[in-house]
Chain A
Amino acid sequence: MDILVIDDSKTARLLLKAHFPKDKPYNILEASDMKSALAAAQTSQPLVIFIDYNLPGTNGIKIAEALIEQGNQSKYVLMTANLQDFILEETKRVGFVGVLSKPVSTEAIVKLLEEITK
């Protein structure tokens, strides 16, 4: 099962990967910007895409919109510590299935993945 993680911070990507449950056959792919995200999503069609909100020159909402426009049918999860109302409203408008609060925890990831894959 492919999962794509989009975050400009290598640390954040490493941490997220470290928190994924080890007993499931997840294949974690990584992207750090819009271009690499679009390419990775097109190649693998991941089941879930975790997207950071604050990204240089763009944000996670815009990346999800670009992916959807590209025809991607993955489920989207926004990762952010920035839980302002306008961001949460944008996630609903675009159709994100969840928001993962930073700093991430294994419990929150497991719960989200269970909900998404059930």
Chain B
Amino acid sequence: MNFSELQQDALKEVFNIGISKATQQVSSLVRDDIVINVSNISLISQAEVLKKIRFREEEPVICVAQSFSGDLLGDISLFFTDDESKKLIASLIGASEEKESDITQLEPTAVLELGNIIISGTLATLEMIFESKLQAKMPVYADGECQNKIIDENKPVFFIKSVLHATSRNVAGAIFLQLRTSSIEAIQNMIDAKFLDSAGEV
């Protein structure tokens, strides 16, 4: 990957700003403080993405993914384990543990809504900072084998991960930005033009 250290740093910073802004709304919805941790950037195969999104082996995973096109081509995906997703939904609707059947019934729409808030908010920030046009498709919800429905293992992606941790409920989710390799040059140009040129580093 021909990304300079400063370009990687800039993309992490933008992604971090996007997640931070989007998480603010979710924090008030679930009535919890959310701590964010953005990891390093890497260019990996989608098969490796599958390994990275497994929090714990053999545990069911819930995910919401939203593809985007326009000046950049990629996906943002949000993953929770099934158990963590249920805890989040309970806090969202104010349900007690006794109402687990209600939570299970509501899970797809509620997780879709939460995911949509985080993903759309992040995309909006990317669009605003890079002064670019990104068209988001409808979010997709999946459980069980959700990774396989969303990810094509044969294609490499540019990958950045952020972990969101709702502190009082000890619920963690992960959000991934995957950029198609065809968009790498485009985003490098955007970073140089919008970030590093103005800072006098290019």
Contacts and interface: CB of A to CB of B under 8 A. Distances in A.
Are chains A and B native binding partners rather than an unrelated pairing?
yes
Interface of A: 9-12, 14-15, 17-18, 54, 80-86, 102-103
A84 B23 contact: yes
Interface in B12-37: 12-13, 16-18, 20-21, 23-24, 27-28, 33-34, 36-37
A86 to B, nearest CB: 4
A62 to B, nearest CB: 12
Interface residues of B, number: 28
Interface of B: 5-6, 9-10, 12-13, 16-18, 20-21, 23-24, 27-28, 33-34, 36-38, 125, 129, 195-196, 198-201
Interface of B: prevailing SS: helix
Contacts of B33: 84-86
B199 A17 contact: yes
Given A54-B36, A84-B33, A102-B17, A11 B24 contact: no
Contact of B199 (A15, A83, A102): A15
Contacts of A85: 27-28, 33
A86 B23 CA distance: 13
A10 B21 CA distance: 20
B23 A54 contact: no
